[in-house]
Structure 1
């Protein structure tokens, strides 16, 4: 979805997705998304008007009826790391149970997963798919669906990092033309449900470690420096993460396990500096446990040889 996540405060999922369809996708999958958005607006005319969205569809004949579809067993990654340049795709799967009058194989039946922040009845931030989910019908009343959501760093604010909830929607146009001014919305089915799962959308982190002198005499002081940074979605650069507890760890050469020596806090620029006494050859590294907004990260180990 290439729209900034705080374009508008909208109740429901689809209204926001209709506000900005990128030119590169305007004639492709986003057309389906825009059509589904019209169904949402028709089902929620009061919300659409408050959000500044065209109320034309709300004035058309009838409102969409409640589609006989239930969503459950939604699965999404526990965390999604987003850097500063490349888009990140995440897959959402869910099961859809539908009534006998719902033709999920119809060409004009669409279902989408999405991620949102804030209360479901007053959405403020939304991440939505450019393409409908693909579904495999497993019984006369059940289908398993899979959709992908593309997250573009330039369209996120730093404040968007943290917990997001997942939802899904489905629209059955039943032969009605969503592009027509004479569409009979009472013949269109629509369903939209939130609170189906949660994930963390996080500002990707980086951590460095450097130890000196090399080599060092046994019993002498080793100075270990490093820096903890995380993606700044607004400047499109990595910036220092201040005031964070970071562990200094050591792994003896020839072993595989790191042991924590002490905990150090990053300064105002995200930098780290501490000292230890040299004992044996081994690797020093900093390790960050992570927060809800920033993922855990381990720096590569830096080998220091000890002379007698």
Structure 2
């Protein structure tokens, strides 16, 4: 998405009409209007894969002694708003507003991100642009509000223990793969040199125990060995990074005879 196209599309929207106001005029807005908070996805990181669009909420809070008529905004990426070309915005600007009290209002809109518009460098916290209008028609905008959640690249993790069945005391090989969304290619690729825990739960037990930590190789593959002791479940667990969420594989049951 390109920000010029976005701003043009918003020019007829009453709640965002301040977007069409020159920067100097916007700066002259009464200081009483304050945009106090922006929350992305309720403060939870937004995880995006390689094909499906992702919808999530953008909530913005503003306050003014005269009361707040409306607030709208979108997310943008880059060091400078005036040169940024990457945005995440609603298809239709239709925020739902709730009065916190006589002077403060929070408005929430659904924004939509498309993997096709993202690059791997976008896996971080974005900025929020917001416009607020008070009940007197005065407008105020903020360009550099900090989001409280990150945009992250979705991850996948697998586990396979073999051979099955196996005799007690014999060596069991546990393989797997840690991959994550590559927005540059729109495919999943190995997440290399990452620490992943191998966990085991004996049949009938209620919780898993960590057996060891394994590093993913240059293709994201995992491989280690353990001694078979009793029937049970094996799984790999990845704690996540700033760009990639935590993920746990489906467990693999091993019959020990």
Contact 1:166 1:198 in 2 (8 A): no
The structure with the greater share of residues assigned to strand is: 2
- 1:201 positional shift: 0.5
Superimposed CA distance per residue, residues 30-70 of structure 1 (whole angstroms, 9 cap, x where no aligned partner):
8428854322xx116xxxxxxxxxxxxxxxxxx34315421
Matched, 1:232 2:193: no
Residue in 2 that maps onto 1:98: 64
Superimposed CA distance per residue, residues 117-165 of structure 1 (whole angstroms, 9 cap, x where no aligned partner):
4446666454333314221335442222112221111000111102334
In 1, Cα distance between equivalents of 2:7 and 2:130: 19
* Further displaced range: 91-100 or 199-208: 91-100
Q: Secondary structure at the match of 1:280?
A: coil
Matched, 1:69 2:29: no
Matched, 1:112 2:62: no
In 1, Cα distance between equivalents of 2:95 and 2:230: 56
Residue in 2 that maps onto 1:163: 125
Residue in 1 that maps onto 2:214: 264
Q: TM-score, normalised by structure 2?
A: 0.85
Q: TM-score, normalised by structure 1?
A: 0.72
Residue in 2 that maps onto 1:38: 20
In 1, Cα distance between equivalents of 2:83 and 2:207: 46
**Unmatched runs of 5 consecutive residues or more in structure 2:** none
Distance 1:138 1:198, change over 3 A: closer
How many aligned residue pairs are there? 250
The structure whose Rg is larger is 1
Contact 1:117 1:123 in 2 (8 A): no
- 1:248 positional shift: 0.8
In 2, Cα distance between equivalents of 1:166 and 1:20: 14
Q: Secondary structure at the match of 2:161?
A: strand
What is the Cα-based RMSD across aligned positions, in Å? 2.9
Residue in 2 that maps onto 1:78: 44
In 1, Cα distance between equivalents of 2:11 and 2:160: 48
Correspondence 1:106-185 to 2 at 5 A: 111-119=71-79, 124=84, 125-130=86-91, 131-170=93-132
**Unmatched runs of 5 consecutive residues or more in structure 1:** 8-15, 45-62, 105-109, 176-187
Matched, 1:248 2:212: no
Correspondence 1:190-201 to 2 at 5 A: 190-201=140-151
